[in-house]
Amino acid sequence: MDAALPLELPLDINSVKGFLADSEGAALYRLAAEASDRGPCLEIGSYCGKSTVYLGSACKLMNNTLFAVDHHRGSEEHQPGEEYHDRELFDNRSQLMDSFHAFRTNMRAAQLEEHVVPVVAPTTVAARHWNTPLGLVFIDGGHSLEAALNDYRCWSRHIVPGGFLAIHDIFPNPEDGGQAPYDIYKLALASGQFELVEMVETLGILRRL
């Protein structure tokens, strides 16, 4: 990745809700820029759009497109009574968590609406008829093993040779965090189809062989 590429974001990234470290976001920005000559980018798990701003800004710079897949009903940990529940994102009318309004607001503020395509659906539904080759897939969806496996199996096969797979929240030590992202990271390496490029905090970056 080109570490010299200047990070240019159109808004204060700290104003966007999310769980991405600055160093991880900067790595995603550079990665999306590098991947743009291989095909469009796709992320699973947009939430309020923090990672989307990093990825989408790089796509805008390179005149590329980012597909942002998320059902916007939150993962297990975002539900009422759970550790990461945010009352501001709970829709009292439907009695469901809904991050899509915040996501759209942030995309508009970041001037990314012409480069980010929201796909508001569960990952398995979004992938059902997908045929577009991808230069980058970023997985940051649900952290249950079922959800992580679905994300990996649905999307990794669409990455072109030389393209990238990035996985967030990799914790080799179970005491530090959930193991599902680490499990699919190990699965990708064991497949023989990917090689590790770099680890940036909890972000694993792999290249398709």
pLDDT in tens, the chain (209 residues): 666 688 989 889 999 999 899 999 999 999 999 999 999 999 999 999 999 999 999 999 999 999 999 998 877 777 777 776 777 777 777 877 889 999 999 999 999 999 999 999 999 999 999 999 999 999 999 989 999 999 999 999 999 999 999 999 999 999 998 899 999 999 999 999 999 999 999 999 999 99
Amino acid identity for residue 172 in this structure: P
Q: Is residue 8 part of a domain?
A: no
Radius of gyration of the chain (CA): 16
Of residues 165, 180, 206, 200, the one with CA closest to residue 75: 180
The per-residue pLDDT for 91 is 72
Q: Is 143 a catalytic residue?
A: yes
User: Given the DSSP bridges, would you call strands 116-119 and 96-97 parallel, antiparallel or unpaired?
Assistant: unpaired
Q: Is residue 97 part of a domain?
A: yes
The angle at the Cα of 63, spanning 62 to 69, to the nearest 5 degrees, equals 100
User: Given the DSSP bridges, would you call strands 203-208 and 159-167 parallel, antiparallel or unpaired?
Assistant: antiparallel
Q: Is residue 72 part of a domain?
A: yes
Rounded Cα distance between 158 and 73, Å, is 25
- Phi and psi torsions of 64, nearest 5°: -115, 180
In the set 71, 143, 158, 168, the catalytic residue is 143
In the three-class reduction of DSSP (H, G, I as helix; E, B as strand; rest coil), residue 64 is classed as coil
- For residue 163, the domain's CATH number is 3.40.50.150
Q: Residue 85 is part of which domain span? A: 16-208
Q: Is residue 34 part of a domain?
A: yes
Rounded Cα distance between 163 and 2, Å, is 15
Number of residues written out for the chain: 209
The DSSP H or E segment spanning 108 is helix 100-109
Domain count along the chain: 1
Q: Is residue 31 part of a domain?
A: yes
| Sheet with 203-208, edge to edge strand ranges | 116-119, 66-69, 41-44, 134-139, 159-167, 203-208, 194-200
Q: Is residue 90 part of a domain?
A: yes
Of residues 49, 58, 48, the one with CA closest to residue 26: 58
Rounded Cα distance between 66 and 64, Å, is 7
Q: Is residue 1 part of a domain?
A: no
pTM, two decimal places: 0.93
Rounded Cα distance between 73 and 83, Å, is 15
The per-residue pLDDT for 1 is 65
Q: Is residue 87 part of a domain?
A: yes
The per-residue pLDDT for 169 is 96
The per-residue pLDDT for 5 is 83
